A and B are shown apart, each in its own frame.
Chain A
Amino acid sequence: MFQVQSRRFIIGAAASLATLSLAGLALGSGNAFAQAPVKGGVLIYLEQQPHDNLYPPAGGFYPNGGVLNQITDKLTYQNPKTLEIEPWIAESWTVNADATEFTFKIRPGVTFSDGTPLDANAVAKNFDTYGLGNKAQKLPISEVLTNYKGSEVVDPLTVKFFFSRPSVGFLQGTSVIGSGLVSLKTLSLPFEALGDATKIIGSGPFVVTNEVLGRELTMTARQDYAWGPKNLEHQGRAHLDGIKYVVTPEDSVRIGALLAGQAQVIRQVQAYDEKQVQSKGFIIYAPSTRGINNSIVFRPDNPLVSDVRVRRALLHATNTKEIVATLFSENYPQAKSIIASTAQGFVDNSGKLAYDPALAAKLLDEAGWTVGPRNLRQKDGKELVLTAYESLPQPQNKETLQLVAQQWAKVGVKLNVLAGDAGSRVADNLDPAKTPVAPAMVGRADPDVIRSQYYPTTRNVLLQKGGVSQKVQNFSDEKLNKLLEDIAVATDPVKRLALVGEVQAYVIDQGYAIPVFEEPQAFAASPRVKGFTFEAVGRPSFYSTWIAPK
C-alpha cells in the first residue's frame, strides 16, 4: 500500500515538475533554476506515421500538423494557456459589428523562405484558396472557413475578408494549423503535389531542407526569422539549428531509442508505456486537445438507436471511470461533458453521465426491449446488436470499444467492434444502417468545433440528412441545428458560450453522444529538452526549444 502511494507520489512529482518547467519557460526566466537557453544543436524527433498531404487545411492529421507547425506561421496566435487570440503575422485587426468583415494589419518585413514577401496580397491569396477551394487544382475548402465570400487588398499591409453570414469563429480560425500561410508558388501547385514537404514554402522558424519520402525530414532553422508571436518571451531565430524527423512506426523502438539517447522527443506514447518512460527520469507531455472529447456517438437514423431511451440507456450502461482506470492514465481525464474541461464554454454535465446499469435496464424495458435468449435484448423479433468500426488515430480505440462492448453486454446489448479496411470503414461509417455507433473526437480550441462536429454539412457525426452521406433516410434534428447555427453567428461572446452550454446539455439529454475521456496528445522527451511547447490543441512547437548540455 505504502509502495503504491510513494510511486504515485513520484509520478505526481515528476508530472508537476514537468508542468513547472513548462510554466517557467512560458512565463519567463523568473525562477532561480532557469538556465539561459543554449543555441544550436539538432533535435531528433520520432513520429509514428509519415505525413501525407501537407495542404495546410489538411493539417489536422497529427503527423501533418507536427511538420506544418514548424514551417508555417499563422495570421494570429492562440495563447495555449488563456486561449486568447494574440498578434502574430497580423499586428492588429478589426471586426465589424455582425462579424461579416475582418480587417487585418500585416506585420512588415515578413518573408517566405523562398524570399517572396508575406504581404496583404499573399495573405489574401491564401485565404481565397482555403475559403473558396480551387477546382482546377483539386484543392478542397477549409473546414474553418464556412461562408467565406472573398478578400480585398486595401494596401500592401492591410487585407480585408468578407463573409456571406456572420462568422465569429473566423478570428480563431486564422490561428489554427489549417490556416498556415504559404507562398504563392506553393498555392499554385495541384493537390496531388503537396505531399512533398520540400514544396511547402512557409514563413516559419524552420525550413524543410531535405526529405526521404515516408521516412525522414530534415528541417533547418531560418537565420533571419524575426516574426514569432509577439507575446512570446523568445524572439528572433529558433534556438535549435535544426530538427530531424524520423518516422519510427514501432512503439517499442521509439521508446527504446528515446531511453537509449538516440532521439530526444517522441510522439504517441501509449498510456501503458508512461510509467516505463517516467521511471527512467524522462518526461511525459500530454497537452489537451481542447475540443470534442473522445466519445461514442449514435446514428439515430438507424431504427435500433432511434429511441432516445435506448441511447440514454447505453449512456448509463457505459462505465467511463472503468475505461479510464483500466486502459489509460491520469493524463486522460474522465469526460465531464461532450467537450473538454479545458475548452471554451465547458459546462460540467457529469451528473447526467453517471454509470447506472439499473437505470439503463429500466430505460431499455420501457423502450420495449426485453431480455430474450442468450441474454440479448429483443423487440419484435429483432435483437439489439450494434456495430462500430474502430478509429485508428484514437489511442487504444479498439480496446476502448471492446471494453464498452463488455459493459453493454451486462444490460443485454451486443456491440460488434470491426477493424476493416479503410474503404469499408469510410463507406460504412457514412451508412447509419451499417454503423449505428461510431467513435468520434476533434481537437480545436474554439466553440465553433461543436458546430463543425454535429452540423449536417460539415463533419455530421450523427449522420443527419443533408450531409455528405447519401444513405440517410430521414434523421434530422432541427432544434440541434438551430442551436449550432446560432453558435456560428452569435457575435456576443457571452451569448455564444451560453449557446455552447445549451448544446452540451441537449446532446447529452438526447443521448446522441457518450463522452468517454478528454483526449491528450502524448509525447515523451529527454529531461535535457527545454522549452518544448505546444500550440492550443497539442501540436508540438520547437521554436523555443533547446537542448541543455549533459
Chain B
Amino acid sequence: MVHYLLGRFGQALAVLALTFTAAFLLLQVLPGDAIMIKFMAPEMALTPEQIADIRAAYGADLPLWERYLSTVGQFLTGNFGYSIQAGVPVSKLLLTNLPSTLLLASLGFTAALILTILLAAASNMTGMGWLRAGLQALPSLFISVPVFWLGIMLIQIFSFQLGLVSVISPGPVEKLVLPVMTLAIPISAPLAQILMRNIDQVLTQPFVAVARAKGASRSWVLWRHVARNALLPTLTIAGVLFGELLAGAVVTEAVFGLSGLGGLTYQAVGNHDTAVLQAIVVISALAFVTINLIVDLLYPVLDPRLGSKVGATA
C-alpha cells in the first residue's frame, strides 16, 4: 500500500511538472503578451523607445529558457509574480479569489451530490411509472439549462421579485444560496444520469433477485446492495467533473458578481496575463491530481475486490 501511495504521489508530481512546462510554453506561443496589450494599446500613446524600456524592465526581452528557469525558481520559492493587467501581486489575487471559489465549488458539489442521490432514490422508490419517468427526465433538462440563464432567473425571482435575498450587499451565507443552487443543478445532471442508469443495471443482477427472495424490502436492497455497486462509476465521473465545476463557476461568478477563480481566469485569459494564468494552471492541476488521487484511494473502500487487486500487484 505504501509503495502504491508513493508511486501515485510520484505520478502526481510528474503531472504537475509537465503541466507547468506545457502551460509556460503554450502561453509563450500565443500572439502578443500582457505587456503589449497593456502598453501598446493606443490610449497609452507611447513611443517604440518607451515600450522597449518597459519590456526590458519586465525582463520580457530575455531568451525563453532564461524566463522559464526564473519562473520555475519563483514558483518553487512561492513567488507567483505580478499581474500586469490588475497591477497587484498574483499571490494577493489568489488569496482573494481562491477561498471563495473553493467554498462555492465544494458547497455546489455537495449540493449536487445531495440532489443526485435524492433524484435517484426518489425515482427508484416511487411506484408510479409517470413520476419515475418524469424524475428520470429531469437530468436531461438540468444539463440543457444554460447556467447564466438559470442564475439570472434565480436572481430575478428570489432577489428582485420576492426580495428574499440581496445580491448586491448580501450576508456571508445569503451570498452563497443562489450561486450554489445555480452551480449544483447542472453538475448534478451527469451524476444523476449515471447513478440512475447504474442502479437500473445493478437491479437486473441475480443477487438482487436473491436478496428480494430472501424477504429484503425494496429500499433495503437499494441502500444496502444496489447503491454501493452503482456508486463506483459515479465517483469516477465526479472526479472528472471538477473541471466542469470550475467552468460553471466562471459563469456563476460573473452573473452573481462574486470574486473567484472563475472570473480571475476569464480576465487573465482575455489579457494574456501570463503570471496569473501560470499560477491558475498549476493550482487547477494540483486540484485535479489531488481529487483523482482521493477517488482512486476511495475505490477499495467501496469495493473490496479492487483493494485485494492492489494488494496483489504491490
Chain A residues at the B interface, C-beta cutoff of 8 Å: 44, 46, 50, 52-55, 58, 60-61, 133, 135-136, 138, 140-141, 143, 191-196, 212-216, 244, 246-250, 252-253, 256-257, 259-260, 262-263, 421-424, 426-427, 429-430, 440, 442, 452, 457-461, 467-468, 470
Known A257-B167, A427-B32, A459-B43; judge A215-B50 contact (CB<8 A): no
- Given the complex of chains A and B, what is the CA–CA distance between A143 and B47 in angstroms? 11
Q: List 9 A-B contacts (CB under 8 A).
A: A138-B54, A247-B257, A250-B148, A253-B167, A262-B168, A262-B169, A427-B36, A457-B45, A468-B47
Which residues of chain B are near A460, meaning CB under 8 Å?
42
Asked if B71 is an interface residue, CB under 8 A from chain A, the answer is: no
Which residues of chain A are near B48, meaning CB under 8 Å?
467-468, 470
**Residue contact A46 to B87, C-beta cutoff 8 Å:** no
Known A192-B87, A260-B160; judge A140-B39 contact (CB<8 A): yes
Taking CB as reference atom, which chain A residue is nearest B256?
A253
**Residue contact B155 to A138, C-beta cutoff 8 Å:** no
Known A195-B86, A422-B271, A427-B36; judge A140-B57 contact (CB<8 A): no
Taking CB as reference atom, which chain A residue is nearest B38?
A53
**Residue contact A250 to B272, C-beta cutoff 8 Å:** no
Asked if B234 is an interface residue, CB under 8 A from chain A, the answer is: no
Asked if B283 is an interface residue, CB under 8 A from chain A, the answer is: no
Known A143-B44, A263-B168; judge A195-B88 contact (CB<8 A): yes
Within 8 A of A (CB), among B156-173: 156, 159-160, 163, 166-169
Known A140-B54, A215-B258; judge A192-B160 contact (CB<8 A): no
- Going nearest first, the 3 A-B pairs with the smallest beta carbon separation are A195-B87, A423-B32, A53-B87
Which residues of chain A are near B155, meaning CB under 8 Å?
253, 256
**Residue contact A461 to B272, C-beta cutoff 8 Å:** no
Within 8 A of A (CB), among B237-273: 254-259, 263-264, 267, 269-272
**Residue contact B45 to A458, C-beta cutoff 8 Å:** yes
> From residue A91, how far is it (CB to closest CB) to chain B in Å?
31
**Residue contact A138 to B57, C-beta cutoff 8 Å:** yes
Which residues of chain B are near A262, meaning CB under 8 Å?
159-160, 166-169
Taking CB as reference atom, which chain A residue is nearest B88?
A195
Known A52-B86, A468-B47; judge A214-B54 contact (CB<8 A): no
- Quick check: which of B91-99, B127-135, B139-147, B202-210 contacts chain A, the rest being far away? B91-99
Asked if B58 is an interface residue, CB under 8 A from chain A, the answer is: yes
Taking CB as reference atom, which chain B residue is nearest A135?
B53
Given contact pairs A138-B57, A193-B87, A250-B257, a sample of 18 additional A-B residue pairs in the complex whose CB atoms are under 8 Å apart: A44-B168, A44-B169, A50-B86, A135-B57, A141-B46, A193-B88, A194-B87, A195-B85, A215-B259, A246-B169, A252-B156, A253-B155, A421-B31, A423-B37, A424-B32, A461-B42, A467-B48, A468-B48
> From residue B261, how far is it (CB to closest CB) to chain A in Å?
11
- Given the complex of chains A and B, what is the CA–CA distance between A427 and B35 in angstroms? 12
**Residue contact B259 to A196, C-beta cutoff 8 Å:** no
Known A253-B155, A260-B160; judge A452-B257 contact (CB<8 A): no
Which residues of chain B are near A430, meaning CB under 8 Å?
40
**Residue contact B257 to A423, C-beta cutoff 8 Å:** no
Which residues of chain A are near B58, meaning CB under 8 Å?
138
Which residues of chain A are near B166, meaning CB under 8 Å?
262
**Residue contact A58 to B167, C-beta cutoff 8 Å:** no
> From residue A232, how far is it (CB to closest CB) to chain B in Å?
29
Asked if B278 is an interface residue, CB under 8 A from chain A, the answer is: no
CB contact between B168 and one of A54, A248, A421 (< 8 Å): that residue: A248
Asked if B288 is an interface residue, CB under 8 A from chain A, the answer is: no
Which residues of chain B are near A136, meaning CB under 8 Å?
57
**Is chain B's interface secondary structure helix, strand, loop, or mixed overall?**
helix
Within 8 A of A (CB), among B4-53: 30-33, 36-48, 50-51, 53
**Residue contact A246 to B87, C-beta cutoff 8 Å:** no
Asked if B84 is an interface residue, CB under 8 A from chain A, the answer is: yes
Known A212-B96, A260-B160; judge A423-B254 contact (CB<8 A): no
Of the listed residues B37, B45, B83, B155, the one surrounded by the most CB atoms of chain A closer than 10 A to its CB is B45
**Residue contact B267 to A426, C-beta cutoff 8 Å:** no
**Residue contact B45 to A143, C-beta cutoff 8 Å:** yes
**Is chain A's interface secondary structure helix, strand, loop, or mixed overall?**
loop
- Given the complex of chains A and B, what is the CA–CA distance between A403 and B37 in angstroms? 28
- Given the complex of chains A and B, what is the CA–CA distance between A429 and B264 in angstroms? 25
**Residue contact B44 to A253, C-beta cutoff 8 Å:** no
**Residue contact B36 to A426, C-beta cutoff 8 Å:** yes
Which residues of chain A are near B85, meaning CB under 8 Å?
52-53, 195
**Residue contact B42 to A250, C-beta cutoff 8 Å:** no
- Given the complex of chains A and B, what is the CA–CA distance between A408 and B89 in angstroms? 47
**Residue contact B84 to A192, C-beta cutoff 8 Å:** yes
**Residue contact A423 to B30, C-beta cutoff 8 Å:** yes
Asked if B152 is an interface residue, CB under 8 A from chain A, the answer is: yes
**Residue contact A468 to B168, C-beta cutoff 8 Å:** no
Taking CB as reference atom, which chain B residue is nearest A60?
B43
Asked if B82 is an interface residue, CB under 8 A from chain A, the answer is: yes
Known A44-B168, A423-B32, A427-B36; judge A140-B44 contact (CB<8 A): yes
- Given the complex of chains A and B, what is the CA–CA distance between A136 and B57 in angstroms? 7
> From residue B264, how far is it (CB to closest CB) to chain A in Å?
7
> From residue A484, how far is it (CB to closest CB) to chain B in Å?
13
CB contact between B32 and one of A50, A135, A422, A461 (< 8 Å): that residue: A422
Which residues of chain B are near A429, meaning CB under 8 Å?
42
Known A256-B159, A422-B32, A427-B32; judge A452-B168 contact (CB<8 A): no
- Given the complex of chains A and B, what is the CA–CA distance between A248 and B33 in angstroms? 27
- Given the complex of chains A and B, what is the CA–CA distance between A426 and B84 in angstroms? 16
**Residue contact A248 to B159, C-beta cutoff 8 Å:** no
**Residue contact A133 to B50, C-beta cutoff 8 Å:** yes
CB contact between A213 and one of B46, B53, B93 (< 8 Å): that residue: B93
Which residues of chain B are near A196, meaning CB under 8 Å?
87-88, 92
- Given the complex of chains A and B, what is the CA–CA distance between A102 and B37 in angstroms? 34
CB contact between A214 and one of B38, B82, B259 (< 8 Å): that residue: B259
**Residue contact B32 to A191, C-beta cutoff 8 Å:** no
Q: Encode contact with A along B287-301: 1 for CB under 8 Å, 0 otherwise.
A: 000000000000000
- Given the complex of chains A and B, what is the CA–CA distance between A470 and B42 in angstroms? 14
**Residue contact B160 to A256, C-beta cutoff 8 Å:** yes
Which residues of chain B are near A427, meaning CB under 8 Å?
31-32, 36
Known A262-B168, A468-B46, A468-B48; judge A426-B53 contact (CB<8 A): no
> From residue A169, how far is it (CB to closest CB) to chain B in Å?
13
Which residues of chain B are near A458, meaning CB under 8 Å?
45
Which residues of chain A are near B33, meaning CB under 8 Å?
423
CB contact between B41 and one of A195, A248, A257, A426 (< 8 Å): that residue: A426
**Residue contact B152 to A214, C-beta cutoff 8 Å:** no
CB contact between B87 and one of A54, A133, A468 (< 8 Å): that residue: A54
Known A138-B57, A192-B82, A213-B93; judge A426-B259 contact (CB<8 A): no
Of the listed residues A140, A143, A259, A427, the one surrounded by the most CB atoms of chain B closer than 10 A to its CB is A140
Which residues of chain B are near A470, meaning CB under 8 Å?
48
**Residue contact A253 to B88, C-beta cutoff 8 Å:** no
Known A140-B50, A193-B87, A430-B40; judge A214-B96 contact (CB<8 A): yes
Taking CB as reference atom, which chain B residue is nearest A55?
B87
Which residues of chain A are near B82, meaning CB under 8 Å?
192-193
Which residues of chain A are near B88, meaning CB under 8 Å?
192-193, 195-196, 213
- Given the complex of chains A and B, what is the CA–CA distance between A461 and B45 in angstroms? 10
> From residue A242, how far is it (CB to closest CB) to chain B in Å?
12
Known A54-B87, A140-B44, A213-B259; judge A424-B31 contact (CB<8 A): yes
- Given the complex of chains A and B, what is the CA–CA distance between A422 and B273 in angstroms? 10
- Given the complex of chains A and B, what is the CA–CA distance between A246 and B175 in angstroms? 14
Which residues of chain A are near B47, meaning CB under 8 Å?
457, 467-468
